[in-house]
């Protein structure tokens, strides 16, 4: 099996690569080739026994998508995007990266299939930002997509394209609407949701963090480990069970910022809480106010997708996976 990961240098891309290398198979088929691409050249895994090709490529550049489709990978993980805050701040860049690149990839796959039969599985990472307020207490699988951000709008259009290209038989697509991934390793990024990770990650390492919203803000979360599980499961799922509705709300955990901090206190004590500085940010508060807070993802759960059920579990996973089991 040949797998292509677009956006392989990102946090989720690296973790999916590591999981695939560790497993050595996908859906019972041995992995023989990995193609990893991003705007910066991804790191080549050292433990993979098959062929690995790493490419520095901007999917929005003319011809870039066609070159990738010409490789005819069996499975494609399309993870490439710019984050919510950056897409909101830079309108043109957001549409070029988050929409135009995706359309180019889908169309390149279609054109490749016109030469000779080609019908890859494509797993697309969407977002809960496709939904906009006002919300019910829990968002069910029938709730309308009405985004209130440019990022959410771009992801919504991508989802519609994924469904249409799948309906026409050009590709076998499945879109997974990721919760906010928490705790993200590494340094803070430009995502408006980044503070959900920052207020835990930095104190757990003995560093200061900024909280820009009130503690009663509620949001929908899953760990990086769960996100990787979603992607691997989506790549092997029988998509006939999806019918024409190719995009799914992923399971997760609904929690307030206050509940996050309570879990942090249980793990790292009062000293960790004192490292959090409260500085209200009206821009972030406005963006977050338009995001979903809770879900009832019955379709995904019935199809076997799983996530954490407590923030203690999410913090424990971060400590195990990123901190070597130790807290500063």
> 117-160, pLDDT tens digit by residue?
999 999 999 999 999 989 999 999 999 999 999 999 999 999 99
Domain borders along the chain are 2-178+224-251
| 3-class state of residue 95 by DSSP | helix
Predicted local distance difference test score (pLDDT) of residue 188: 78
Contacts by 84-87 with C-beta closer than 8 Å and gap 24+?
A: 84/127, 84/129, 84/149, 84/151, 84/152, 84/191, 84/192, 84/193, 84/287, 85/190, 85/191, 85/192, 85/194, 85/284, 85/287, 86/190, 86/191, 87/149, 87/150, 87/151, 87/154
Q: For this structure, is 151 an active site residue?
A: yes
HSE toward the beta carbon, residue 61, CA cutoff 13 A: 8
HSE toward the beta carbon, residue 139, CA cutoff 13 A: 28
Q: What is the pLDDT of residues 154-190, one digit of tens each?
A: 999 999 999 999 999 999 999 999 999 999 998 877 7
Q: Which CATH number fits domain 2-178+224-251: 3.90.730.10, 3.40.50.720, 3.40.50.300, 3.30.565.60?
A: 3.40.50.720
HSE toward the beta carbon, residue 207, CA cutoff 13 A: 12
> Token digits for 181?
């991934």
What percentage of residues in the chain have a pLDDT greater than 90? Answer: 91
Alpha carbon distance 95, 90 (integer Å):
9
Question: Could you identify the residue written with the tokens 């059920």?
Answer: 309
Alpha carbon distance 97, 228 (integer Å):
22
Alpha carbon distance 198, 184 (integer Å):
8
| Mean of all residue pLDDT scores within the chain | 95
Alpha carbon distance 223, 207 (integer Å):
21
Alpha carbon distance 164, 262 (integer Å):
44
Which phi and psi (to 5°) does residue 80 adopt? Answer: -70, 130
Q: How far is CA 34 from the centre of its chain?
A: 20
Predicted structure pTM score: 0.94
Q: Which residues contact 210 (CB under 8 A, 6 or more apart)?
A: 195, 198, 199, 276, 277, 278, 279
Alpha carbon distance 287, 192 (integer Å):
7
Q: What is the pLDDT of residues 55-88, one digit of tens each?
A: 999 999 999 999 999 999 999 999 999 988 899 9
Q: How far is CA 119 from the centre of its chain?
A: 23
- 326 pLDDT band (50/70/90 cuts)? confident
């Amino acid at each position: 099996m040949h797998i292509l990961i677009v956006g392989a240098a990102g946090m989720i891309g690296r973790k999916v690569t590591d999981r695939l290398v560790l497993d050595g198979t996908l859906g019972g088929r041995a992995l023989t080739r990995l193609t990893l691409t991003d705007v910066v050249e991804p790191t080549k895994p050292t433990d993979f026994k098959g062929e690995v090709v790493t490419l520095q490529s901007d999917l929005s550049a003319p011809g870039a998508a066609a070159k990738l489709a010409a490789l005819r990978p069996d499975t494609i993980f399309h993870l490439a995007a710019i984050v919510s805050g950056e897409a909101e701040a830079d309108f043109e860049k957001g549409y070029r990266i988050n929409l135009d690149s995706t359309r180019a990839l889908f169309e390149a796959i279609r054109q490749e299939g016109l030469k000779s039969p080609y019908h890859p599985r494509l797993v697309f990472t969407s977002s809960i930002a496709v939904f906009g307020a006002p919300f019910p207490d829990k968002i069910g699988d029938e709730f309308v997509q009405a985004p209130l951000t440019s990022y959410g709008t771009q992801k919504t259009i991508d989802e519609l394209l994924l469904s249409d290209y799948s309906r026409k038989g050009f590709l076998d697509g499945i879109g997974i609407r990721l919760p906010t991934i928490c705790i993200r390793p590494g340094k803070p990024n430009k995502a408006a949701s980044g503070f959900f990770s920052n207020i835990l990650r930095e104190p757990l390492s003995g560093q200061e963090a900024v909280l820009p919203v009130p503690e009663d803000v509620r949001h929908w979360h899953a760990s990086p480990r769960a996100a990787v599980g979603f992607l691997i499961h989506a790549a092997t799922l029988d998509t006939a069970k999806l019918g024409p509705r190719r995009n799914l709300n992923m399971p997760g955990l609904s929690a307030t910022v206050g509940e996050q901090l309570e879990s942090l206190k249980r793990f790292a004590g009062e000293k960790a809480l004192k490292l959090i500085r409260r500085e209200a940010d009206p821009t972030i508060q406005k963006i977050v106010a338009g995001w979903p807070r809770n879900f009832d993802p019955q379709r995904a759960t019935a199809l076997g997708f799983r996530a954490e059920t407590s923030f203690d579990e999410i913090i424990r996973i971060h400590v195990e996976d990123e901190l070597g089991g130790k807290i500063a």
